Amino acid sequence: MATRRDFNKTMIKGAGAAALMSTFPLSAACAPQSKKLGVALVGLGSYSTYQLAPALQDTQHCYLAGVVTGTPVKEKQWADKYGIPTANIYNYDNFDAIADNDDIDIVYVVLPNSMHAEFCIRAAKAGKHVICEKPMAISVKECDDIINACNAAGVKLGVGYRLQSEPYTNEIKRIVREKSFGEVRFVSAEAGYRSRGNPDQWRLNKALAGGGALLNMGVYAIQGAIYGTGQNPISVSAQEFSTDPDYFKDTDESITAQFKFPNGATGNIFTSHSANVNRHYSAFDNGWLELNPANNYGPLAGRLSTGEEINFPHESQQKLQMDDFALHVLEGKPNKAPGEMGKRDMIICEAIYQSIAEGGKTIDLDLGGMGIVG
Amino acid sequence: MATRRDFNKTMIKGAGAAALMSTFPLSAACAPQSKKLGVALVGLGSYSTYQLAPALQDTQHCYLAGVVTGTPVKEKQWADKYGIPTANIYNYDNFDAIADNDDIDIVYVVLPNSMHAEFCIRAAKAGKHVICEKPMAISVKECDDIINACNAAGVKLGVGYRLQSEPYTNEIKRIVREKSFGEVRFVSAEAGYRSRGNPDQWRLNKALAGGGALLNMGVYAIQGAIYGTGQNPISVSAQEFSTDPDYFKDTDESITAQFKFPNGATGNIFTSHSANVNRHYSAFDNGWLELNPANNYGPLAGRLSTGEEINFPHESQQKLQMDDFALHVLEGKPNKAPGEMGKRDMIICEAIYQSIAEGGKTIDLDLGGMGIVG
C-alpha cells in the first residue's frame, strides 16, 4: 500500500480515490490543474470553520477533502456545506482508518494543543502528510515525537505558521537578509489580544492548552524576533505578569521576554491575553522597519524609516500557507514551516517558562545547529 | 539682598543689572515684554553650544545672560558670539560669586552627571533658581540633596526634561488622561542611539556619567512608560546586554526593563548606546497611539489606531522648556519637570541597576506618594 500511495502522491493527485481507481485517463490526471491534494481537517472549531475551510475553497494545490470531528452534529453540517463524501468523514475513534482513504493526502490537526502530538502521530502512522497547528505541541518532547513519527512514516510535516507564507513577513525577512539598512541591533515584537470570553474555553485550561498567551500568541512574537534579526537567539530571560488571576486561573496572562542574538542584537517581546498588541519592529544601523498589524489575519501594514510603505495585495494567509505546503509535497518546494521550526519555538517557550520559574534568570539556548531561521 | 533680588524676580526682569540700577522707568520695566529672566549656562559642551544657547535666542521669558565654564578659551568665544558682559562670565572657582549678580536669575547646570549635585547646590546657595540637566544626578541621595538645597534657599528647581514641554508628548498625556481609547494595558518605550565616537568622552566614564545608556537615554524611556500609562510603576525588573565591552568598559551598553503599573498594565522598555531606537507606543482596550521618533530633538511624529496623525508645528523643545520654567518662576505656572520627577526617575534607575545586580529580580517601587506623573 505504501508504494502505491507514494506513487499517487507524486504522480497523480486527482479528485479522489474513486477517480484513481477508475479508468480515468492518466494523462488528464497528470495535468497540473488536476494536481490537488486532499486535506482533512481534524477538529472543527472556529479556526477550521472560519479560516481554514473557507481558505481551502480558494487554494490551487489542495482542497478540503475530509473532516475529523468529535462532534457528531458537525458531520452532516460540514458534509452538506462543503460536499464532503460520507466516506471522508471520521471521528476520533475511527480516525486511523483514514490510512485506507486515498482521497486524503494531508491531515491538518487543528485540535487543542495537548492533542496535537497524538493526532499528528496517528496521521503520520496512517501515511498522511501532516500539518500541525501552532503551537506545535505542549513540550519539546512531543515535538520530537511528532518529527520522529513523520520521519519514520516518510511523510512531510509542516506547522500552521500562516505568517511564514505571508508576503509582508517575507518582505521583512528579505530586508533583514539583504541588510538593506545595515546591521540589525534591536528587534521588538508584540502579539496579544484582550481575551475575556467564555471562561470554560480550552485556551484557559492548562491541561488542554499547555500554556497561555505565550503558546497561543507568544510564538508569533518569538518568530518575529527571529525573522526580524535573521538569527536564532542564544539566550532568553522572561517575566510573567498576572493581574487577573480569577480569569486566568491556570494559564499565563502576559509575558515579557528578552533575547540575545549572535551578532549582539537585543530582542524584546511581549505577549498577552490582556492587551491588544500586534507589532513588529527591527532597528538597524541605518534605518528601521515595522509592521502594525504584524500578526493578525491581515491585511497587515508596514513601513520603513525611508517613509516608504510596505504594501502587498491581501490574500488569505491560510490559503497561501496550505498551497505552500501542498507544493512542498507535490514539487519539493521549500517547507516554509517545518517541524524543526515548531520544535525550536517550543524549546524557546520552555526556556521562557524556566526563566520565569527561576525568577527571570537568563537561560542559554543552543539553537544554532537547528539551522531554521525565519 | 535676598529681599531685593526676590523683588526683582517677581517684578522687574530686564536686560541686565545695569538697566536695573539705572533710572530706567519702572513702569516700562514692568511691562510683560520686559520680564525676561537671565539664564546662566554652567558647562559649555555640545548641548549648551548647539541646543540651549541657540534656543535662548528665541525664548520669550528668559535669555542667555551668563555662562560658567572651566575652559578659559570659551569665555571670549561666548562673550563675542552672544554679547555676554564680562561680569556675567564665571569659572568653576569663582562661580559662587554669582550670588551677587542680579543679571542671573536661573542657573542651568549642563555639566557631566556627577557634577550636577555640586553645582545645583552651589547655585541654590547663591540664591538662583536651578535647572538641572537630566539625569538629575547619579544617585537618589544626590537628588534629595539638590531638592533640599533648593527648598532651603527658597529657589525653584526644574529638571532638563525637554519633552515635558513638548506638544506631541503632552498630546499623548492628554489621550491617556482622557481615556480616549479606554483603559491602557501596555506601554513600550525605546530610547537609544548607536554611539561609537570618542572613547574618552565623559559619557563612557562611570565616575562622571554615573551610568551608561540608562541614565543618558533610558530616563526618556522610563518617562515614556509613565506618561504613556499616566501612572507611576509599582515594580520593575531589568536586564543588561553587553556586546562591546572593549568600548563600554565602564558603563551600561543596553538595558531592557519591565514595569508593572497599578491598573495592571505592563511596560516594556529598551535603552541603548548600541542601537538607534526612538519610539513610544501605548495600547488601550480600543486602540493605540505611537510616536516615532519619540524622544529626539524633533520634529517628532505620531499616529493613532484611527489612522489619524498627531501633528504640531515644530518648535525648539529647549526653548519651550526654558520658557515654561521661566513662567513657573515669574507667574507661578506649573513646574513641568520638578526635582521630584528627577528623583522619581533616579529611584527607578537605581531599582533597575539593583535588579540587574540581582539577576533580574523584580524590585518593588513605592512611588505612588510622590504624585508626579508624566
Q: What is the pLDDT along chain A (374 residues), one digit of tens a residue?
A: 333 334 333 333 333 433 333 444 334 444 445 589 999 999 999 999 999 999 999 999 999 999 999 999 999 999 999 999 999 999 999 999 999 999 999 999 999 999 999 999 999 999 999 999 999 999 999 999 999 999 999 999 999 999 999 999 999 999 999 999 999 999 999 999 999 989 999 999 999 999 999 999 999 999 999 999 999 999 999 999 999 999 999 999 999 999 999 999 999 999 999 999 999 999 999 999 999 999 999 999 999 999 999 999 999 999 999 999 999 999 999 999 999 999 999 999 999 999 999 999 999 999 977 878 87
* CA-based nearest residue to B89, from B21, B37, B42: B42
Q: In what order do the strands lie in the sheet with A184-192?
A: A309-310, A302-304, A287-291, A277-284, A184-192, A266-272, A254-260, A235-241, A363-364
N- to C-terminal Cα separation, chain A:
36
pLDDT, tens digit, 9 for 90 and up, residues B141-182: 999 999 999 999 999 999 999 999 999 999 999 999 999 999
* ipTM at complex level: 0.90
pLDDT of A215 reads: 98
Using the beta-carbon criterion (under 8 Å), do B188 and A186 form an inter-chain contact? no
**Contact B275/A at CB under 8 A:** yes
Pick from B242, B191, B238, B194: nearest CA to B217? B191
- Cis status of the peptide bond prior to A293, with omega within 30 of 0: yes
Cβ atoms A235, A348 nearer than 8 A: no
- The span from the CA of A277 to the CA of B203, in Å, is 35
- Report, as an integer, the average pLDDT of B122-139: 98
Residue B4 has pLDDT above 50, yes or no: no
Domain boundaries, chain A: 2-160, 163-315+339-370
Q: Domain A163-315+339-370 maps to which CATH number in 3.90.650.10, 3.30.360.10, 3.30.1490.20, 3.40.50.1820? A: 3.30.360.10
Q: Which residues, at least 6 apart from A220, have a Cβ–Cβ distance to it below 8 Å? A: A163, A189, A191, A271, A294, A295
Pairing of strands B37-42, A363-364: unpaired
C-alpha A316/C-alpha A162 separation (Å) is 9
Concatenating the DSSP letter of every residue in A300-340 gives --EEETTSPEE------HHHHHHHHHHHHHHH----SSBHH
Q: What is the pLDDT of residues B188-206, one digit of tens each?
A: 999 999 999 899 999 999 9
CB contact under 8 A, A265 and B281: no
CB contacts of A264 in chain B (<8 Å) are 241, 243-244, 274
Is A245 an interface residue toward B (CB < 8 Å)? no
What are the beta bridge partners of residue B106?
B39, B129
B362 closest CA partner among B234, B222, B236, B232 = B236
Q: Which residues of chain B lie closer than 8 angstroms to A283, CB-CB?
A: 190, 275-277
Of B92, B97, B161, the C-alpha closest to B321 is B161
Q: What is the CATH number of domain B163-316+338-370?
A: 3.30.360.10
pLDDT band at B52 (very low <50, low <70, confident <90, very high): very high
Torsion of CA A303, A305, A306, A307, to 10 degrees: 50
B303: pLDDT strictly greater than 70: yes
CB contact under 8 A, B256 and A266: yes
* Residue predicted with more confidence, B260 or A25: B260
Residue B240 in this model has a pLDDT that exceeds 90: yes
The grid cell for B329 is 518662576
**What pLDDT is attached to residue B34?**
60
Higher pLDDT residue, B321 or B18? B321
B266–A285: do the CB atoms touch at under 8 Å?
A: no
**Digit-coded pLDDT (tens) for B71-113:** 999 999 999 999 999 999 999 999 999 999 999 999 999 999 9
Fold classified for B2-160: Rossmann fold (3.40.50)
Chain centroid offset of residue A23 CA? 38
Chain A residues whose CB is inside 8 A of the B266 CB are 241, 254, 256, 270, 272, 275
| CB-based contacts of A18, cutoff 8 Å, min separation 6 | none
Supply φ then ψ for residue B363, to 5 degrees.
-105, 125
Q: Where do the DSSP E strands lie in A145-250?
A: 157-159, 184-192, 235-241
Q: What integer pLDDT is reported at residue A18 of this predicted model? A: 39
Could you give the CA distance from residue A29 to residue A327 in angstroms, rounded to a whole number?
A: 17
